[in-house]
Structure 1
Amino acid sequence: MPVPVRAPTEPEDDGWQGLAWYAQRKPVFTGGNELRLLKAGQALFPAMCEQIERAHHSIWLALYLVSPYGQSGAVLQALQRAARRGVKVHLVADGVGSHDAPPSMWTQLRSEGIDVVIHRPFHRIWGMFNSSEWRRMHFKLCVIDESVSFVGGINLIDDRFDLHNGWSDTIRLDYAVEASGPVSTPVLHTIKAMWTRAQFGQDWRDELWPLVQDSGRMRRLRHLWQQARMRLTPSEQAPFAKAASNPHPTRCAFVLRDNLRQRRTIERAAIQAIKQARHEIDIVTPYFYPGRQLRLALRHAAARGVRVRLLLQGKVDLPIAGLAARVLYDELIRHGIEIHEYQKAFLHAKVMRVDKDWCTIGSSNLDPLSLVLNMEANVIVRDQHFTATLTRELESDFADSQLVQLAATQRHWADRMGHWLFRMAAKLYLRLAGISGHY
């Protein structure tokens, strides 16, 4: 059942100003939403299957990783049943994230009438030398019948299966949100735009010359271009704009990070929330190597008496990512920030909570890939009851972790040297990827 909700206790600037959703560089909050917190695929996949079975006309998905094994196979089977009964099913998957999926899976989905496109297919030989190949679609999004959406950090893969480490007896820690209401509109538009971009990228070379010669195809090209833009159409803007001023029941915002207009929307929203924190900040992320501005915001929050807790990986799936986080331990602990390492299983959640009425859940880690390079999507919630539900779950997660003591970290100078090396490596990586940003 949906989490009980009530209006936030404090007014807030919507950032709407009469413009389209994508034109805003800060979160656009809308009321009139109902949300349900979903923990791990064992909660998400049945919820998705339930909504898929109810679908009447359309299902749209944008997924970084798709796997047919175990729990996630039930979702793929539900999608095929929906397609057989006439529901239009569109799926865009990232070329790197789903590179290891068996070709037979894609063949089966297409044979059942599911429109599948791959965003930037991965090329082993020359892909690493093409900077655009480094910018991946990291979304985990689904919208059913234009009204119910799923946003979070959970890939379409079994909770106990990891591509690098195989099968496990324990369930990976992860979160997602099921939403119904106006917040689903920008989610749907984002998926449609990504699907169109991926489709257009596939047939660009084949259609370029015929488009020059055929006016009808040129009109199709213009139509595709309109679909590939993130901005809402006028008919979509009207109800979304009206919902922006609705104070109840739940106010939330769908936010992106892309390489166009929304480059720092997610990061800036997090920094603003940290700067406004009065009592508590909880951050859960598997990959933690934020830029200096975000680290300073955390340090300043701790200095003014805010309790700042980080929940990071105890069981490390990618050694280089674990080492990158650990070179920051000395700096953060010395400034009063608590660091906990999750011990129960692999950690994949991307969650942040500030005080009692602000939280965000989505696909964005706090590392250079998520903050500067990849396309990411989060939902930000301003609601006391929903945040209280998330807080209870996070307390359980922190209970399954170990507090890192300063004596257990590396020597101070070793940490500083490691930090410098990783910072230089991050800058070099981003420069090679065509990004000359802050880090």
Structure 2
Amino acid sequence: MNAPVRNTLTPTLSRGEREELSGQGSGQHITLLDGGAEAYPRMLAAIASATRRVHLEVYAFEHAGVGAHFVEALTAAARRGVEVKVIVDGWGSIGESRVLADTLRPAGIKVRVHNPLTSVLLLGRLWRNHRKLLLVDDTVAFLGGINIGDHYAAAEGRPGWADLALELRGGICAQLGTRLNAGASALVAGPVRLLLSGFGGGWRLRARYLAALAQARHEVVLAHAYFLPDRGFVRALTRAARRGVEVHLLLAGRSDVPFARAATMRLYRTLLRGGVHIHEWTESTLHAKAAVVDGQRLLVGSFNLDPLSLVNLETLVEVEDTDVAGQATRWVRRHLEGARPVGLEDCARSGLQRWLLDVVGLAVARFAERAATFIGSRRMRRRS
């Protein structure tokens, strides 16, 4: 994994790397990036090298701070004749989207705000675009859990959010360029499988996780920020553990979403009794959505293991490469070492405390499930 870039966002790539970013390199290249500190400089370098097209699609885009660097790079690309398109989610970028559009459009950049608040209130369009995707010249792509914002890179005295992204170069990027507006897609090139879910298509992404768990023989390490899987997924984890697979979950000890941890903690007793190891990351906000199986297969993207990701627009990249999977395994293990282990004794709270936790957790879980069902049904009615 590349050494983190902590004090600057100025692109510092070598000449060879810049040639590859410009499409002059060849082959299929996969680079694992540790949070915004590693991802942002390379994303900015890719935009700076663009000659034909830039497509940026993120759930949240903060126009200040690191966002200002992206605004500058996108504007410069558009002014030199590059076709630039930016898509942000109306809810994820609430309070930011109008300023962003007003800043980028004068430079000739196409800006789309997906389901802004007005469409939610007036038309009931609740489904979200949760993707985090940058594609440049159909030769280099960045996908993972990282939005555009200062939270994702460390600052003085503050660690960045724990997250991962992949930089892909090669044939998979050319395929992606043809499928950006095609809804659900499954792309394959060499060791890389890239899945784009349409609305309500997250079940296909969930199926890739289940297939990986079913094939696990030695170890599964999973890092997920918003962990609220269905009963079938929980059973898949405990089945793997009971047949001798070491299953480790790195979960959020603190969250940017209110009561999300309470909903997740409802599952702890079942998982622990099933032989699953649980660790809570508290040094910063955990935002990753990743899993590594047997040190050979990596799954990473914007897809959360929760009900809402089953109905939103999401991405998932699956890589079968021991080098990349090994890097991801080491990333998770490093965070596991700094995380707080959770045991059954931690679940044995007093009667009232445990009851309150279960009530809150159950309420949050049921709300997420019913919201996803409602969103999915409205979307289906609009399509019919």
Task: Please give the TM-score of this superposition, normalised by the length of structure 2.
Answer: 0.84
Q: Larger relative CO (CA 8 A, sep 6+): 1 or 2? A: 1
Residue of structure 2 in register with 1:155 after alignment: 147
Whether 1:69 and 2:64 are equivalent positions in the alignment is: yes
Residue of structure 2 in register with 1:368 after alignment: 307
CA RMSD of aligned residues (A): 2.8
Residue range with higher mean Cα deviation, 268-277 or 410-419: 410-419
Residue of structure 2 in register with 1:409 after alignment: 347
The question of whether the paired residues in 2 share the 8 Å contact of 1:61 and 1:91 is answered with: yes
The question of whether the paired residues in 2 share the 8 Å contact of 1:41 and 1:71 is answered with: no
Change in Cα spacing, 1:106 to 1:142, as seen in structure 2 (3 Å) is same
Whether 1:177 and 2:117 are equivalent positions in the alignment is: no
- Alpha-carbon distance in structure 2 between the residues aligned to 1:424 and 1:361: 26
Counting only pairs closer than 5 Å after superposition, residues 302-341 of structure 1 correspond to structure 2 as: 302-341=241-280
Whether 1:259 and 2:182 are equivalent positions in the alignment is: no
User: Percent identity, aligned pairs only?
Assistant: 32
Q: Quote how far apart the aligned CAs of 1:434 are.
A: 3.9
| Unaligned residue ranges in structure 1 (runs of 5+) | 4-30, 194-227, 233-239
Which residue identity lines up with residue 425 of structure 1 in the other structure? F
Which residue identity lines up with residue 399 of structure 1 in the other structure? E
Whether 1:142 and 2:168 are equivalent positions in the alignment is: no
Change in Cα spacing, 1:85 to 1:149, as seen in structure 2 (3 Å) is same
Specify which of 98, 105, 114 is matched with residue 103 of structure 1.
Answer: 98
Change in Cα spacing, 1:78 to 1:146, as seen in structure 2 (3 Å) is same
Q: Quote how far apart the aligned CAs of 1:432 are.
A: 2.8
The question of whether the paired residues in 2 share the 8 Å contact of 1:299 and 1:332 is answered with: yes
Query: Helix, strand or coil for the counterpart of 1:319?
Result: coil
- Alpha-carbon distance in structure 1 between the residues aligned to 2:85 and 2:257: 31
Query: Helix, strand or coil for the counterpart of 1:99?
Result: coil
- Alpha-carbon distance in structure 1 between the residues aligned to 2:311 and 2:294: 29
Q: Quote how far apart the aligned CAs of 1:285 are.
A: 0.9
Q: Quote how far apart the aligned CAs of 1:410 are.
A: 4.8
Residue range with higher mean Cα deviation, 423-432 or 102-111: 423-432
- Alpha-carbon distance in structure 2 between the residues aligned to 1:302 and 1:362: 24
Task: Please give the TM-score of this superposition, normalised by the length of structure 1.
Answer: 0.74
Q: Quote how far apart the aligned CAs of 1:68 are.
A: 1.6
Q: Quote how far apart the aligned CAs of 1:69 are.
A: 2.0
Change in Cα spacing, 1:264 to 1:431, as seen in structure 2 (3 Å) is closer
Structure 1 runs (4+) greater than 4 angstroms displaced: 128-131, 228-232, 410-423
Q: Quote how far apart the aligned CAs of 1:182 are.
A: 1.6
Q: Quote how far apart the aligned CAs of 1:417 are.
A: 6.5
The question of whether the paired residues in 1 share the 8 Å contact of 2:184 and 2:198 is answered with: no
Change in Cα spacing, 1:156 to 1:336, as seen in structure 2 (3 Å) is same
Change in Cα spacing, 1:160 to 1:253, as seen in structure 2 (3 Å) is closer
Query: Helix, strand or coil for the counterpart of 2:232?
Result: helix
Which residue identity lines up with residue 432 of structure 1 in the other structure? F
Specify which of 305, 326, 331 is matched with residue 393 of structure 1.
Answer: 331
The question of whether the paired residues in 1 share the 8 Å contact of 2:152 and 2:162 is answered with: no
Whether 1:90 and 2:30 are equivalent positions in the alignment is: no
Q: Quote how far apart the aligned CAs of 1:293 are.
A: 1.2
